[in-house]
């Protein structure tokens, strides 16, 4: 199963999902699937990769270990970031009234599938 297929399944399986991406820690998307063009996914991933790096520094400084998941709930979307490995993470963007629990579950379940593709 390709990255695109996995991302599509997560987006279609999550009510209110707007898109999903596999992103390098440098902020450059490897693959993306979106059902809208209303959100600039490319710019967003660069900003959130920086955020993820800072949160990781905080986790390490507090001796909590590696950060596995970060969720940002904003006015217009919920953004979930899930680390895949040291070099990549997955992002899922959902409308504010979307199914957060289902999205989080599908995000977590997609990690082993995505790792097989690397």
- For residue 93, give the CATH number of its domain: 3.30.450.30
Please identify which residue in the block is written with the tokens 């520094």: 57
pLDDT of 61 strictly over 90: no
Q: Which of 84, 67, 74, 68 is nearest to 18 (CA)?
A: 74
Instruction: Give the whole-angstrom CA distance, residue 91 versus residue 104.
Output: 10
Mean pLDDT computed over 13-29: 92
Specify the number of domains making up the chain: 1
Mean pLDDT of the chain: 90
Q: Residue 106 sits in which domain range? A: 3-117
Look at the pTM and tell me if it is higher than 0.95. no
HSE-CB for 1 with a 13 A CA cutoff: 13
Q: Say how far apart CA 87 and CA 19 lie, in whole Å.
A: 21
């Amino acid at each position: 199963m390709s990255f695109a297929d996995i991302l599509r399944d997560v987006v279609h399986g999550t009510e209110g999902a707007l898109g999903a991406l596999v992103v390098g820690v440098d902020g450059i998307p490897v693959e993306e699937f979106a059902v809208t063009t209303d959100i600039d996914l490319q710019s967003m991933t660069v900003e959130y990769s920086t955020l993820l790096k800072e949160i990781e520094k905080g986790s390490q400084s507090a001796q909590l270990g590696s950060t596995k998941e970060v969720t940002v709930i904003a006015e217009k979307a919920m953004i979930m970031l899930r680390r895949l490995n040291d070099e990549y993470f997955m992002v899922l963007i959902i409308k504010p009234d979307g199914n957060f629990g289902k999205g989080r579950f599908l995000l977590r379940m997609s990690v082993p599938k995505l790792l097989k593709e690397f």
